[in-house]
């Protein structure tokens, strides 16, 4: 390519060509080789070993939505990282949590954040929450080739819908299939256990504080039964990442706030290892 | 047999510069000022949707006077440049200096290429630093030259007169309300020296505010916040009076 951004010369023609407000569309025309989906993989045998992230959970409450994730990344039966971050702000009013191949997922989040920001700057307006969710769908679909070789990325997307005035959750499958989840959702290897916990504990009228407790309870239960999900690590002061999105925008709970929730749950679990009980009838 | 028409290079460039300057002069002027917490962009703009100021990247803002479709094109080119650079390297590697260089090269190439008509635009690229000393303001005239400015800068048709007015009155460490009032005063002066009133709804105001907790420092000021800032000044009379009132 004759012109690139590394030289300080004139802006290449592609930069000044009127076109789409999408950064990904721009890249696919100007420098397609740096888009993650365009990478060619050599034929491989078996599954490629790379660190995997595990459980992400989300729950709505009146006025917003909570998205949280554990901190463990595993490679086979080895703990690859104890303090990995898998929940990120996507923009002011949404967040994305990722389970699956950590390296690809982090790259996908970076591109997704940029895609939303780029649109906002070019158009002078934010995408609708639905539009953001669809954009993420496209990105996962472009990763399908790698997903088939075991490098799947499965995100959970949550945001505050400014137009409708409520929190919403979208879950995805490896093919980019998108579905809106009501009340609560989970993804990753520990998600079945997390979903079970939330199913019993979720109520329509949770406060923000109760919703954050709910997701940490769910993560605890996921870590309890799934070896790839990490529980709160009190000794190393590594707690789940908890984010809250409301009318006021995105907020990540501080380490102190997260540790308070985690510690109070741990204390209760010392007396009742299986956690809170839902009523039988 | 006709002889080819000869135009000296000096004459050709002078004609092109004249053409561009006339185009820019048809648009309204705008000003960019440093204040204590950052950089403020002020301009007269009857449109709510077609902006003269916008965000390029985290700490970098863009302002333009002249022909809308041409500066809009450059603005989007700048956003693409910044986003691509931030994606390939790191967010910190996107700088106003780099962007201003790219714009200067682009404008300069267009200006001196006989095949293209010169752009009728004048740009300002500003980056807010951690401290007022770290602020950078670059002015880019139509011919691709680049001027490193401090304190205040005006671009557009009436720029020289507004600049000299601002140079005399702009001080370091002004509050946002003071800087805004000074900017509006400067813009209200016509070429013949008379003053006219610019209503708040015709003003476009944006800031790069270093005190914002977010990474992205660009913020538009409109509606209630804008009228509060303008009223804060009106109550205090002139700029000096306002600062004394605030101190009470």
Q: Do B87 and A11 touch (CB under 8 A)?
A: no
Give chain A's count of helices (H) and strands (E).
8, 13
Residues of B in contact with A26 (CB under 8 A): 80, 84
- The share of chain A scoring above pLDDT 70, in percent, equals 97
- Chains A and B form CB pairs within 8 A to the count of 64
Closest Cα of chain A to B166: distance in Å? 30
Write out pLDDT tens, residues B123-173: 999 999 999 999 999 999 999 999 999 999 999 988 999 999 999 999 999
pLDDT band at B247 (very low <50, low <70, confident <90, very high): very low
CB count in 10 Å sphere of residue B227: 14
Residues A71 and A220: their CA atoms lie apart, in Å, by 12
Does B242 score more than 50 pLDDT? no
**Which residues touch B5 (CB under 8 Å, ≥6 apart)?**
none
Residues of B in contact with A18 (CB under 8 A): 73, 76
Q: Which residues of chain A have pLDDT under 70?
A: 1-8
A253-262: Cβ within 8 A, 24+ apart: A253/A212, A258/A216, A259/A232, A261/A212, A261/A213, A261/A216, A262/A216, A262/A232, A262/A234
The complex's ipTM works out to 0.88
Q: Do B77 and A23 touch (CB under 8 A)?
A: no
CA-derived radius of gyration, chain B? 19
Write out pLDDT tens, residues B74-131: 999 999 999 999 999 999 999 999 999 999 999 999 998 888 899 999 999 999 999 9
Write out pLDDT tens, residues B36-67: 999 999 999 988 889 999 999 999 999 999 99
State pTM to two decimals. 0.90
**Which residues touch B89 (CB under 8 Å, ≥6 apart)?**
none
**Helix B239-247 vs helix B223-236: crossing angle, to nearest 10:** 100
Work out the average pLDDT over B217-227: 92
3-state secondary structure of A49: coil
pLDDT band at B30 (very low <50, low <70, confident <90, very high): very high
Of A184, A123, A120, the closest CA to residue A158 belongs to A184
CB count in 10 Å sphere of residue A101: 25
Closest Cα of chain A to B142: distance in Å? 14
């Amino acid at each position: 390519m004759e012109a690139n951004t590394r030289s300080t010369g004139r802006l290449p023609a592609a930069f000044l060509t009127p076109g789409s407000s999408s950064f990904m569309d721009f890249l696919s025309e100007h420098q397609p080789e740096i888009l993650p989906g365009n990478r060619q993989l050599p034929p491989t045998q078996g599954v490629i070993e790379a660190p995997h992230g595990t459980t992400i959970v989300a729950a709505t409450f009146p006025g917003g939505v909570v998205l949280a994730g554990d901190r463990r990344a595993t490679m086979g039966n080895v703990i690859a990282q104890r303090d990995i971050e898998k929940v990120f702000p996507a923009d002011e009013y949404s967040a994305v949590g990722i389970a699956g191949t950590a390296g690809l997922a982090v790259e996908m989040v970076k591109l997704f954040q940029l895609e939303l920001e780029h649109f906002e700057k070019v158009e002078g307006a934010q995408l609708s929450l639905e539009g953001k969710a669809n954009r993420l769908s496209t990105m996962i679909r472009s990763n399908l080739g790698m997903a088939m070789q075991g490098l799947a990325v499965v995100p959970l997307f949550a945001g505050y819908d400014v137009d409708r005035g409520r929190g919403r959750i979208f879950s995805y499958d490896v093919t980019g299939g998108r579905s809106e989840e009501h009340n609560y959702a989970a993804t990753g290897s520990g998600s079945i256990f997390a979903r079970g916990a939330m199913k019993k504990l979720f109520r329509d009228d949770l406060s923000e504080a109760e919703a954050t407790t709910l997701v940490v309870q769910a993560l605890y239960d996921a870590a309890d039964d799934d070896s790839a999900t990490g529980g709160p690590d009190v000794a190393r002061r590594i707690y789940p990442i908890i984010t809250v999105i409301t009318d006021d925008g995105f907020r990540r709970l501080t380490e102190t706030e997260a540790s308070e929730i985690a510690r109070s749950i741990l204390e209760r679990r010392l007396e009742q290892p299986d956690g809170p009980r839902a009523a039988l009838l | 047999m006709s002889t080819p028409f000869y135009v000296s290079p000096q004459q050709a460039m002078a004609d092109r510069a004249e053409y561009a300057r006339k185009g820019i002069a048809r648009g309204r002027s705008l000003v960019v000022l440093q204040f204590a917490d950052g950089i403020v962009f002020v301009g007269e703009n009857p449109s709510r949707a077609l902006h003269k100021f916008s965000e390029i990247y985290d700490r970098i803002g863009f302002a333009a006077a002249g022909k809308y479709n041409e500066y809009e094109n450059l603005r989007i080119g700048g956003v693409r440049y910044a986003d691509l650079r931030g994606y390939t390297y790191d967010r910190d590697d996107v700088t106003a200096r780099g962007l201003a260089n790219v714009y200067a090269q682009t404008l300069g190439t267009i200006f001196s290429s006989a095949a293209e008509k010169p752009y009728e635009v004048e740009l300002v690229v500003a980056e807010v630093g951690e401290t007022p000393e770290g602020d950078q303001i670059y002015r880019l005239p139509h011919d691709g030259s680049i001027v490193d400015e401090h304190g205040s800068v005006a671009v557009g048709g009436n720029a020289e007169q507004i600049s000299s007015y601002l140079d005399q009155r702009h001080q370091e460490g002004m509050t946002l309300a003071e800087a805004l009032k000074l900017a509006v005063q400067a813009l209200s002066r016509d070429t013949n020296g008379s003053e006219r009133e610019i209503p708040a709804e015709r003003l476009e105001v944006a800031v790069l505010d270093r005190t914002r907790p977010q990474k992205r420092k660009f913020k538009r000021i409109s509606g209630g916040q804008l009228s509060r800032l303008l009223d804060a000044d009106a109550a205090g009379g002139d700029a000096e009076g306002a600062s004394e009132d605030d101190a009470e």
